Amino acid sequence: MKSNLSRYLLLSAALAGSVSLLALKAEDKVVPDADNAGLKLPAGFGALVAAETGGRARHITVTPQGLIYVKLNRPNAAGKGILMLRPTANGKAEVAGAIGSYGGTGIYSTPDYLYASSDEDVYRYKLNSKGEVANPAQSEKIVAGLINRRQHESKSITLDKEGNIYVTIGAYANACQVNDRQKGSKGIPNCPILDSAGGIWQFRTDKLNQRYANGTRYATGLRNVVGLDWNAQANQLFVMQHGRDQLSDNWPELFTTKQSAELPAECMYALKKGDNAGWPYLYYDPMQRKKMLNPEYGGDGKKEAPGNYLEPVAAYPAHTAPNALLFYTGTMFPEKYRNGAFIAFHGSWNRAPEPQKGYYVVFQPFKNGKPFGDYEVFADNFAGTPEKAAAGRPDHKPCGLAQGTDGSLYVSDDKKGTIYRIVYAKK
């Protein structure tokens, strides 16, 4: 009798606590797909298709209770832009709810709130003890009126531990030309775009209806940031910039098509308040390891950029579109991954006539809060085949990253809405 009572009390505690019994069972039985969901992974790792959402899945977040929230680029057929997925058997998940009538990219969860962004505003929703949105009809708008000119319009978000939220506002231009993306068009002096875009803005998480005037332009000179994360070890914001396009298209007398395919690097920056990374005046050449003056402002591929602009802390192949950055703090993966960074590369469109590139997740080792050593491709073949990747016609495009409660890695797909889950099985 006493034994039965103990079992009842334990079961009641599990059901009433922060982690559901269903989530616990699901965590215990993660079963990789026989083909690892089509992915190529390091030895000892496995992958499965955790869910199919049917929408363009952008960023993704996991609550402490194991619920998964997915931001859709556009609202689905039911008019909802945020999906809630609940764990089921064998490590998979199913759509169990949907909220929000807006599309967008940014999503982030804390134990108390779910934060999500449209392309103009940032919202938050109160979470209950189960990690569910307590009242879907009662969102709070914490930031409003951010600029959206239909180019680099996504507003990615992350939080620090001091009650600040960081919002990316991409520049609505390639290189701040008088005529955007036009051959031979010069750059506008003292680029006016930087007043309201081309950087990272900081707001408070506990204030409603903030606008530009209530926030701080935390860092500037960043053409377009989609992937960002707060590095707890360094206590610092890290971001991934999408480098400029069309060097050869717009300046064929200065750059070959091959140079244009390989320049500039996609860069990682470690930011402090007031930093300036130099867009639109410069690009980063990974071969020369130098900040070069953009042709729109008098550069010729040989002139270094003048001025005291921020150095990148790491550089990656051109035109691969880093769309998510995640610092791994779990214990499932081997020790070498602890506090390092995973980066999801969405893939390129403008490397022709060279092969298109990207459509993978890389791992960047870190040491003492800084990049240390070369990156490695961690999860590949989202495209389906090398030929599909080279042609720029991938089956899937990795976009968002999130760490599961057990330390597994979730990856979202911006083409068909697949949610992948990567686990480490080798002991």
- How much is the pLDDT for 426? 75
Q: Work out the pLDDT band at 425, boundaries 50, 70, 90.
A: confident
Q: Is 374 in a helix, a strand, or coil?
A: coil
Predicted model pTM:
0.93
- How much is the pLDDT for 288? 95
**What is the gyration radius of the CA atoms in the chain, in angstroms?**
22
Q: Work out the pLDDT band at 274, boundaries 50, 70, 90.
A: very high
Q: Work out the pLDDT band at 113, boundaries 50, 70, 90.
A: very high
**Whether the predicted pLDDT of 212 surpasses 70:** yes
**Whether the predicted pLDDT of 3 surpasses 50:** no
Let me know if 66 is exposed, middle or buried by CB neighbors in 10 A (0-12, 13-18, 19+). Answer: buried
- In sequence order, the 6+-apart residues with CB closer than 8 A to the CB of 391 are 355, 356
What average pLDDT does the structure give for the chain?
Answer: 93
**Whether the predicted pLDDT of 386 surpasses 60:** yes
What are the b/e assignments for 173-195, b being 16+ CB within 10 Å?
A: bbbbbeeeeeeebebbeebebbe
**Whether the predicted pLDDT of 26 surpasses 90:** no
- How much is the pLDDT for 29? 83
**Whether the predicted pLDDT of 23 surpasses 90:** no
Nearest by Cα to 117 from 344, 353, 400: 400
Alpha carbons 222 and 267: distance in angstroms, whole number: 10
Q: Work out the pLDDT band at 350, boundaries 50, 70, 90.
A: confident
Alpha carbons 51 and 92: distance in angstroms, whole number: 6
Nearest by Cα to 312 from 256, 251, 364: 364
Q: What is the rounded average pLDDT of the residues 356-361?
A: 97
State pLDDT tens for residues 140-195: 999 999 999 999 999 999 999 999 999 999 999 999 999 999 999 999 999 999 99
Q: What is the rounded average pLDDT of the residues 99-128?
A: 98
State pLDDT tens for residues 70-84: 999 999 999 999 999
Q: What is the rounded average pLDDT of the residues 204-217?
A: 98
Nearest by Cα to 219 from 202, 231, 244: 202
